[in-house]
Amino acid sequence: MAWRRRRPEARSGARGALALLALALCAPGARGRALEWYSAVVSTEYVDPQTNRSVRSVSESGRFGESSPKEGARGLVGVPRAEDRDPEGCAPRTRFLVPGGRGAAPWVALVARGGCTFKDKVLAAARRNASAVVLYNEERHGNLTAPMSHAGTGSIVVIMVSYPKGREIVDLVQKDIPVTMTIGLGTRHVQEFISGQSVVFVAIAFITMMIISLAWLIFYYIQRFLYTGSQFGSQSHRKETKKLIGQLPLHTVKHGEKGIDVDAESCPVCIENFKGKDVIRILPCKDKQE
């Protein structure tokens, strides 16, 4: 019976381990958190000096920064002056070349990624009264854009465009060609992902589950082994006892038999008086008493 009582406990231990893993997976920290971001529609327009024709392009190729207002902006494009050798626009006193710009007309700063934080770039352009800041990605990333964290930059619009798009506009501006850029709100994107911390949490929970399950499995089989051994021992003992009892001599009780008072003596096992013609076994202790 001992073995049968242990089996539910082993199963409950396994259930407890599975519950622990389920709790880990369902915990708020283990669930993937959502990353929301918005694409930007980028429109550029300029006059080709060779053909004197207007060239216009529109594409949803930009990406709004995390702290940027999700709204549109428009203005002539300005880039850091070549003589300052600061294409990333990191210096606090960065000067910008804005072909066709006059007075307080709205303009858009276009700077390269790298050299300093996104926040430093945005603040440097904001000091020059830029209405928006456009960063173009590094060459090694090709046509990709990336998330930008720039908290503390106020209400200025910030987007990122790909390296080819950024270099195309920079080349035009450095040739003193006025380029007008219009930024519009694009598509909302929601991406689910699991943080590294959550992965570690789930991994620890899984390892813990495996250790608990292994411990309960070992405990279960030890109990089963002990129970099987005890059952085997009990059966062997009963067989040996039965064999010894079978070897005791049998005797039929008779009235007036010497050494036995049928009406007085009682069976020490049955706790009752002997009767005539009863078949009894003579215990070794009886012989010793005689």
pLDDT digits 0-9 by tens, 15-61: 555 555 555 555 554 445 558 899 999 999 999 999 999 999 999 99
More confident residue, 276 or 116: 116
**CB within 8 A of 72, min separation 6: which ones?**
157, 182, 183, 184, 185
Interval 102-155: pLDDT, tens: 777 899 999 999 999 999 999 999 999 999 999 999 999 999 999 999 999 999
Q: What is the pLDDT of residue 35?
A: 80
Q: Name the H helices within 76-195.
A: 118-126, 163-174
AA identity, residue 152? G
Confidence category of residue 250, pLDDT binned at 50, 70, 90: confident
Decide if pLDDT at 282 tops 60: yes
Question: Distance between CA atoms of 290 and 281, rounded to whole angstroms?
Answer: 15
